[in-house]
Structure 1
Amino acid sequence: MLSKAGCPKTMLSIKDALEALEGRWKLLILFSLAESPKRFKQISKEVTGITDKTLSKELKSLEANKLVSRDVYDTFPPTVEYSITPHGLSLEKVLDELHFWGLAHRKKVIGK
């Protein structure tokens, strides 16, 4: 049950969370990285439908919010790998709940 107790603080924390995770791609990128660190093209293949430009922008935003880290390795050409941070992993329960809600929503709305 949703409570409105402490409403201004609750609204602010929800607003902060939505700003950090806004858009249709960020949670899918985090889900992709939850399994293991990946290179840009690996993420691009797993997150179907995202453009390289959008993926680049979203990764920068996730990095700024300390949800993803970017590691550059001294190879030729340089290897760049993205991984989910412990702060990003703290969203595991949120992703699980969204998954279960999405299944129930699909069944209720689409009937499948």
Structure 2
Amino acid sequence: MSDKKVEKCGERCALQEILDVIGGKWSMSIIYALFSGKKRFSELERLIPGINTRMLVKELKNMEANGIITREVFATVPPTVEYTLTTKGEKLEASINELYKWGMEYVA
């Protein structure tokens, strides 16, 4: 363990801001599902067991607003919507994979 002391956060801690962007209950699962490429809304619903439609919509909107994913709408009937990770979102892959490894070692 490091001898470094964690600095006390000011009014808005950087870690808290990070968690606001990717700390939602379903955020990591959504990002993980998008590592393999574009997904339609219904595909994401199927890939993430236990998520309901309302929560998926909420998480996707939050991640889109924070520049983690892009949403592309096609003019079809009914409209087709595809989600992909942005460059910013793709950079989370290494961190999420490390969290996964940690979880497999200490939680599972």
For the criterion TM > 0.5, the same-fold answer is: yes
- Residue 38 of structure 1: CA displacement? 0.6
Matches within 5 A, 1:31-50: 31-50=32-51
* Residue in 1 that maps onto 2:100: 99
Aligned: 1:21 with 2:22: yes
Unpaired segments ≥5 residues, structure 1: 108-112
Matches within 5 A, 1:50-65: 50-65=51-66
The TM-score, its normalising length taken from structure 2, stands at 0.87
Matches within 5 A, 1:59-98: 59-98=60-99
In 2, the alpha carbon distance for the partners of 1:5 and 1:51 equals 37
- Report the aligned-residue RMSD: 1.8
Unpaired segments ≥5 residues, structure 2: none
- Residue 74 of structure 1: CA displacement? 2.0
The TM-score, its normalising length taken from structure 1, stands at 0.84
Aligned length: 106
In 2, the alpha carbon distance for the partners of 1:15 and 1:30 equals 19
In 2, the alpha carbon distance for the partners of 1:93 and 1:36 equals 16
Q: Per the alignment, do residues 14 and 43 of structure 1 end up closer, same or farther by CA in structure 2, a change over 3 Å counting?
A: same
> Percent identity between the aligned chains?
35
Q: Deviations over 1:37-59 (max 9, x none)?
A: 11111000001100001000000
